[in-house]
Amino acid sequence: MKVLRPFAVRLVILIAGSAALVVPLRAQRAAVQAEHGIVTSAHVLASEAGLEMLKRGGNAVDAAVATGLALATVYPIAGNLGGGGFMLIHLTGGRDVVIDYRETAPAAATRDMYLGPDGNVLTGPGSSTVGWRASGVPGSVAGFALALEKYGSGKITWAEVCEPARRLAADGHLITQGGAAQLRASENHLGKFAESKRIFLKGGAHWAAGDLWKQPDLAATFARLQKGGPREFYTGETARRIASAMAQNHGTITLEDLKAYKPAERVPLRGTYRGHVIVTMPPPSSGGLAVLQMLAMLEPFDLGAMGHTSAAKYHLFAEVMRRAFRDRAEYLGDPDFSSVPVTQLLDRAYLKRRMTDFSPDKATPSSAVEAGLGPAKLSQDSTLNSQFFAAESTETTHFSVVDAAGNAVANTYTLNGNFGSGVTVPGTGVLLNNEMDDFTAKLGVKNMFGLLQGPANAIQPGKRPLSAMTPTMVFKDGKLRLVTGSPGGPTIINTVLQILINVIDHQMPVAQAVEAPRVHHQWMQDTLTYEHYGLSADTAAVLTAKGHTLKERASYEGGYQGDAETIFIDPATNLRHGAADPRKPDSRAVGY
């Protein structure tokens, strides 16, 4: 078995057809080509942890779990034991399944827990974004364990998938330039908490590129997980340390909350687009439903003829995005707690009606876009362009895996914000999430990502907050063609949409499809954002004339949107083409 070198794309079999095209384009990063298995993630060491499992005879699920656990060590801005997410699994027998290991609200959570005496949403420590009260009950360990137990190869044990992460924590890893920059950029956040400052900021001295970073507390946590099994996190010494620290710091998670946590298996959503089958995430993620809605609204239009970066296409994108996000705000929530009208929202006749007021010449004001299935339920005092609008987080992370047999995993998981709540549980090395901010803290007030959300997403004990995470797979003629997903808060949804459009409509090789510039509209705030270098002056002028408000992405993010770690399977050769998104400097695809 051999590793094939990264290649400059010369020839690609397109998803949309069976003929080969000579493609003269070059990507900033060439896709990595592999005959057997391939893993792509935000950090090369995590990708290599997954590849280690594949080379030892494990399947895509084994590799995905090892990758996810390793990211907790080498990519702590989003990789985690103290967060949660979603895993989409495709098995070669034809079965597709979702492991929902989203965090849940603790038993002590209440609808108005983040409102102050004046009725306004709290900020700073004690809020839904910072400190000990911001965390939902973590699901990552339980979710990975369920996936391994039910869908792993049976050749790789739980202790073995933990080992690369433990080894990287115990022996240390060399901090990259990108990793050092992430840690320093979060100094104010992490510096609020002594344990986080000690571990992640080197006590205030800061880690530098090239430093060997050892994390002995995290290594000990992984060792306990290896010895005691995954339930150790929820019932053992690690659980007791989490519960004790919570009690000492007026947090809300108890030992009983940890013991009660269970991941859920769900049936993925399925839709079609130009002869392809799209398999994606169901609620409590809003992402899959929104992507399928937008694809259905776009299908009547010849996007290829419009051109990849045309004003006509970007105008159309903004219009379908604002309609899908309006429905998201109104109807989406945890299906275990509220009725989500999935069938109605995906009905083709409904989505055709949704576009009856579309004009190719004029932008629809977001304030004029109503929820499509009925009158809006957002409160009357909603300040739709309020001061609560904020740039979305990039601190989720996505990784994709395909093994030699064709099994595949698309996994997106998160701490929510940069390094989550900023809190590290003493003696564990475990950062905790600030996922409670994904609930509706107050009707009419936006969360940290600038999203307005409805009463279906109100805080309740045991409930999972609404998410935008959208791990997705594409099939053609019964065969897997594409595995993708992205971080980026609400931009996740539109990043995944554009990856699919780039491959299917614009027939791009996967590396170009991933690197191509991205735009984003989320209904409120009524702004079309674009990446640095991503919009020409004449295109911007046409869009402005149509009534769009344009905004370049924030410079602190490098001006970029998302991190779409993607794998394309060539239908003619069955070779796996792994495209690591260059928006993340440490991302890599590795294969054999």
What is the tens place of the pLDDT at every residue in 391-430? 345 579 999 999 999 999 999 999 999 999 999 999 999 9
At position 361, the amino acid (one-letter code) is D
CA 522-528-534 angle, to 5 degrees, is 125
Q: Give me the numbers of helices (H) and strands (E) for the chain, helices first please.
A: 19, 23
**Parallel, antiparallel or unpaired: strands 550-552 and 528-530:** parallel
Would you call 40 a catalytic residue per the annotation?
no
Nearest to 291 by CA among 498, 438, 96: 498
pTM value is 0.92
- pLDDT confidence of residue 250: 96
- pLDDT confidence of residue 449: 57
Do you know the residue count of the chain?
592
Catalytic residue among 238, 252, 254, 396: 396
Tokens representing residue 197 in the block: 């400052």
How is 245-299 classified by DSSP, letter by letter?
HHHHTT-S--HHHHHH---EEEPPEEEEETTEEEEEPPTTBSHHHHHHHHHHHHT
Per-residue pLDDT tens over the stretch 52-86: 999 999 999 999 999 999 999 999 999 999 999 99
Give the Cα separation of 401 and 577 in Å (integer): 11
- pLDDT confidence of residue 343: 97
551: phi then psi, degrees, rounded to nearest 5:
-150, 130
- pLDDT confidence of residue 14: 33
The neighbouring-strand residues paired with 528 are: 550
Give the Cα separation of 199 and 186 in Å (integer): 13
Per-residue pLDDT tens over the stretch 222-264: 999 999 999 999 999 999 999 999 999 999 999 999 999 999 9
Neighbour-count burial of 365, counting CB atoms closer than 10 A to its CB (0-12 exposed, 13-18 middle, 19+ buried): exposed
- pLDDT confidence of residue 105: 97
- Give the orientation angle of helix 237-248 with respect to helix 216-228, to 10 degrees: 130
Give the Cα separation of 70 and 432 in Å (integer): 16
Pick out the chain residues at pLDDT < 50.
1-25, 376-392
- pLDDT confidence of residue 447: 63
Give the Cα separation of 530 and 523 in Å (integer): 15
- pLDDT confidence of residue 463: 95
Q: How much is the mean pLDDT over the chain? A: 90
